[in-house]
Amino acid sequence: MHATAGARHAEPEGQWGSRQARFLAAWKRGVRLAGERCFDITAASVDRATDKDQLRPSWDYIEAHLLDRSRGEAAFLAALCSFFNSHWGQALLERAGYPNLCDLAATLDAERSAVVTELFLNYQGW
Protein backbone atom coordinates (compact mmCIF):
# COMPACT_ATOMS: atom_id res chain seq x y z
CA MET A 1 0.00 0.00 0.00
CA HIS A 2 1.11 3.53 -0.56
CA ALA A 3 -0.27 6.91 0.35
CA THR A 4 -1.05 9.18 -2.56
CA ALA A 5 -0.81 12.94 -2.58
CA GLY A 6 -4.08 14.38 -1.35
CA ALA A 7 -5.50 10.99 -0.37
CA ARG A 8 -7.02 10.63 3.06
CA HIS A 9 -6.02 6.98 3.41
CA ALA A 10 -3.68 4.39 1.95
CA GLU A 11 -4.65 2.80 -1.36
CA PRO A 12 -3.67 -0.61 -2.71
CA GLU A 13 -1.03 -0.25 -5.42
CA GLY A 14 -2.63 0.81 -8.72
CA GLN A 15 -6.02 1.75 -7.25
CA TRP A 16 -5.51 5.52 -7.23
CA GLY A 17 -5.65 5.79 -11.03
CA SER A 18 -8.74 3.61 -11.34
CA ARG A 19 -10.52 5.67 -8.67
CA GLN A 20 -9.60 8.82 -10.58
CA ALA A 21 -11.03 7.33 -13.77
CA ARG A 22 -14.26 6.26 -12.04
CA PHE A 23 -14.61 9.69 -10.45
CA LEU A 24 -14.11 11.40 -13.82
CA ALA A 25 -16.65 9.11 -15.51
CA ALA A 26 -19.23 9.85 -12.80
CA TRP A 27 -18.37 13.57 -12.91
CA LYS A 28 -19.02 13.62 -16.67
CA ARG A 29 -22.41 11.98 -16.13
CA GLY A 30 -23.15 14.59 -13.48
CA VAL A 31 -22.13 17.43 -15.79
CA ARG A 32 -24.49 16.13 -18.48
CA LEU A 33 -27.38 15.66 -16.04
CA ALA A 34 -26.93 19.05 -14.38
CA GLY A 35 -26.42 20.84 -17.69
CA GLU A 36 -23.18 21.76 -19.40
CA ARG A 37 -23.97 25.47 -19.09
CA CYS A 38 -23.32 25.11 -15.34
CA PHE A 39 -19.67 24.21 -15.95
CA ASP A 40 -16.60 25.90 -17.37
CA ILE A 41 -15.61 23.27 -19.93
CA THR A 42 -12.06 23.76 -21.16
CA ALA A 43 -11.82 20.46 -23.08
CA ALA A 44 -13.21 20.14 -26.61
CA SER A 45 -16.30 18.51 -25.06
CA VAL A 46 -17.42 16.76 -21.90
CA ASP A 47 -16.63 13.41 -23.50
CA ARG A 48 -13.11 14.48 -24.43
CA ALA A 49 -12.19 15.79 -20.98
CA THR A 50 -9.33 13.84 -19.45
CA ASP A 51 -9.28 15.60 -16.08
CA LYS A 52 -11.96 16.93 -13.73
CA ASP A 53 -10.27 20.34 -13.84
CA GLN A 54 -11.46 20.63 -17.44
CA LEU A 55 -15.05 20.46 -16.12
CA ARG A 56 -15.10 22.87 -13.18
CA PRO A 57 -18.41 24.26 -11.90
CA SER A 58 -19.11 27.76 -13.21
CA TRP A 59 -19.24 29.64 -9.90
CA ASP A 60 -20.83 32.83 -11.25
CA TYR A 61 -23.44 31.04 -13.38
CA ILE A 62 -24.45 28.71 -10.56
CA GLU A 63 -24.67 31.54 -8.03
CA ALA A 64 -26.93 33.47 -10.40
CA HIS A 65 -29.16 30.58 -11.52
CA LEU A 66 -29.27 27.90 -8.80
CA LEU A 67 -32.80 28.70 -7.69
CA ASP A 68 -34.10 28.97 -11.26
CA ARG A 69 -34.14 25.15 -11.24
CA SER A 70 -36.49 22.74 -9.55
CA ARG A 71 -35.55 21.96 -5.95
CA GLY A 72 -34.31 18.51 -6.96
CA GLU A 73 -32.19 19.86 -9.82
CA ALA A 74 -30.78 22.56 -7.53
CA ALA A 75 -29.97 19.94 -4.88
CA PHE A 76 -28.16 17.74 -7.40
CA LEU A 77 -26.12 20.65 -8.76
CA ALA A 78 -25.27 21.74 -5.20
CA ALA A 79 -24.17 18.20 -4.36
CA LEU A 80 -21.86 18.21 -7.38
CA CYS A 81 -20.43 21.55 -6.32
CA SER A 82 -19.71 20.08 -2.88
CA PHE A 83 -17.07 17.85 -4.43
CA PHE A 84 -15.41 20.90 -5.98
CA ASN A 85 -15.60 23.09 -2.86
CA SER A 86 -17.24 21.67 0.26
CA HIS A 87 -18.03 25.01 1.90
CA TRP A 88 -19.61 26.47 -1.22
CA GLY A 89 -21.49 23.24 -1.90
CA GLN A 90 -22.91 23.20 1.63
CA ALA A 91 -24.08 26.80 1.27
CA LEU A 92 -25.74 25.91 -2.06
CA LEU A 93 -27.44 22.86 -0.53
CA GLU A 94 -28.81 25.02 2.27
CA ARG A 95 -30.06 27.63 -0.23
CA ALA A 96 -31.77 24.86 -2.16
CA GLY A 97 -33.44 23.66 1.05
CA TYR A 98 -31.35 20.54 1.70
CA PRO A 99 -29.16 21.07 4.76
CA ASN A 100 -28.03 17.46 5.15
CA LEU A 101 -27.32 14.23 3.28
CA CYS A 102 -30.51 12.49 4.42
CA ASP A 103 -32.66 15.23 2.90
CA LEU A 104 -30.60 15.06 -0.27
CA ALA A 105 -30.81 11.26 -0.47
CA ALA A 106 -34.59 11.36 -0.15
CA THR A 107 -34.81 13.88 -3.01
CA LEU A 108 -32.62 12.57 -5.81
CA ASP A 109 -33.91 10.15 -8.41
CA ALA A 110 -32.06 6.87 -8.98
CA GLU A 111 -29.89 8.20 -11.81
CA ARG A 112 -28.69 11.23 -9.86
CA SER A 113 -28.27 9.20 -6.67
CA ALA A 114 -26.07 6.77 -8.59
CA VAL A 115 -23.85 9.62 -9.79
CA VAL A 116 -23.46 11.09 -6.29
CA THR A 117 -22.78 7.62 -4.86
CA GLU A 118 -20.07 6.94 -7.43
CA LEU A 119 -18.50 10.33 -6.71
CA PHE A 120 -18.50 9.58 -2.96
CA LEU A 121 -16.90 6.20 -3.49
CA ASN A 122 -14.12 7.59 -5.66
CA TYR A 123 -13.54 11.10 -4.32
CA GLN A 124 -9.93 11.81 -3.42
CA GLY A 125 -10.09 15.56 -3.13
CA TRP A 126 -10.25 18.19 -5.82
pLDDT in tens, 64-89: 999 999 999 999 999 999 999 999 99
Residue 37: how many other CB atoms lie within 10 Å: 10
**DSSP H/E element including 44:** none
Pairing state between β 55-57 and 39-41? antiparallel
Which whole-number Å values give the CA distances from 70 to 41, 52, 61, 97, 113, in the listed order?
Answer: 23, 26, 16, 11, 16
| CA nearest to 58, candidates 75, 70, 42 | 42
Q: List pLDDT tens digits, range 46-63.
A: 999 999 999 999 999 999
Question: What's the pLDDT at 7?
Answer: 44
pTM for this model (two decimals): 0.85
- The domain segmentation of the chain, as residue ranges, is 15-122
